[in-house]
Chain A
Amino acid sequence: MILKAEKISKEFIREMKNTNRFFAVQETDFILESGSLTVLMGRSGSGKSTLLNMFAGLMLPTSGKILLDNTDMYSLPDKELSEFRNRHIGVIPQGQTALHSLNVLENVCLPYTLGGEDAHEADALALLETLEIAPLQAAMPAELSGGELRRMAIARAFLRKPEIILADEPTSDLDDETTKIVFSFLKHAAQNGSAVFVVTHENDAVQYADRVFRMNAGILEEQ
């Protein structure tokens, strides 16, 4: 599956000195290919997360289109777009994203159970095993450290084996050892055919990347 962005931009209304218009993302073309790991770096506020959210179908671009195998993502009705995201796009959002009434395993199984499908617990456990948090499967999110919660979110994003993985600062809470595990994991997914897009500040990420981009004041440049 190819994710293609055609002339997309994102503009916000923001009170500033000369103008109220603020371009978080300037007009950009971009292709996210299967089987590759793309890393996007840049300073805070440079528009990285905005770009990722537009790719995830969570933020309508001000102009341009995002095509998934030639289908305009934002032309789909909400229900279809949501279903598509559930099946084909694994998103690892910023920060802590656990549902506090569910335990770790149930949180990881959510992409299946949300639609009333079978939980696929064996797959979830295998992922928890790889990310080294299997012993915590029955724990509640409140009992977990930031790093463990982050790994739980990664396992959740990978459960349905999505073709597209979008990760926003996936290693921000993690120590060096776990950061390595996570990047190896993302690289492995890319090698298995997924299109992986990672927004990060981590300089070490470059050594895992197939392509590296830098975002500067809303302008995307390949390095």
Chain B
Amino acid sequence: MKKTAVIFDVMLCMLSAALCFGTKFLFHACAPKEDGGWMACHWAEQAVFGLGIVLLILSIITFCFPDGKTKSGVQISMAVISVLAMTVPNHLIHLCMMTTMRCHSVMKPAVMIISILILICSVTSGMLHRKEESGI
């Protein structure tokens, strides 16, 4: 049981890093305009990057707590943040005019998929750590 939970913890760490750095460098939003100004989607990218950093720090912190219930608590908060990350592109912060643009066609689905994976992993790992604590 503990081994499985650790696998999920490591996966959470990797997924958080993927969300954080991937949004910035790999599946980033649209390029700046010719005049150098940013389009709306850039701010969505920044917000996801910020949430990604928070998730990454939380996923690393999990390893510092020996207690299963504390780990579980941190991971539940990660689950909530992952839902927030899902809602940033185009719901909380508007993306560009055309859904054919990069922010819609690349960044949004990538953020959605990674956030869903973070949600699944954090809930699963959180539950495993809870059981571990109560000795079931």
Contact between chain A and chain B defined by CB under 8 Å: no
